[in-house]
Amino acid sequence: MTIEQNKVVAVHYTLNEGTAEGQLVESTNGGEPLAFIYGVGMMIPAFEANLAGLTIGDAFAFGIPAAQAYGEYDQTALVEVPKQIFEDEGKIPDGLLEVGNVLPLQDQEGNRMQGMVAYVGLDKVKLDFNHPMAGVDLFFTGHVEGVREAEPAELEHGHVHGAGGHHHH
C-alpha cells in the first residue's frame, strides 16, 4: 500500500534547519512515530507532496524552503511597543520582559496572539509576531513506519486514532 489521499501514514522523522546537518529542531526517534491522515490539510502540503507514493520501510530525505513551510520572515511583524503597557499596578512583573519569552496578547479587536520578546530597551520593547519557524528552510530525513486505510471515524474526526494519534475511544 502506498501513501495517497486518506491513508493513515506513520513516519519517524528528524527535522533539521536548512540541511540534514543543520540545527536539530525535533525528532520522533525514541518516541512514537508521527501519524496523520494524508491529504486532509493536517500537514504542510510540501511535506505531503514529498511522501506521495512511498510505502512502508521507504526512507526519505528532502528540503522545504521557508516560503513553502512556515513562511518567510516578515519584518513588519516585528512591532515596537511602550514598556508601560505591561505594567501591572505601576510595575512590570519580574521576569516578564526577557528576550525569548512568549507573551499572550490581545489586539484592539480582541484577537489573541502570541508575541515573542525580541528586544528590551529602556522604555520600549520589540515583539516578534512571526511564527517561530518563519524564515527557516526545513530539512526532513526519516522513513515510513506504516500506511493503512483510514477508518471512517478517523476521516470524520479529522485525526488518527491509536498509535501516534488520539486515544479517546
Footprint on this chain of Zn ion (rule: CB under 5 A): 157, 166
DSSP structural state of residue 111: -
Q: Which residues contact 71 (CB under 8 A, 6 or more apart)?
A: 130, 131, 134, 135
Q: Sign of the C-alpha dihedral, residues 47, 53, 57, 62? A: negative
CA distance 36 to 114: 26
CA-to-CA separations, 165 to 10, 37, 139, 169, in angstroms, rounded: 10, 10, 23, 11
Question: Which single residue is written with the C-alpha cell 512502508?
Answer: 56
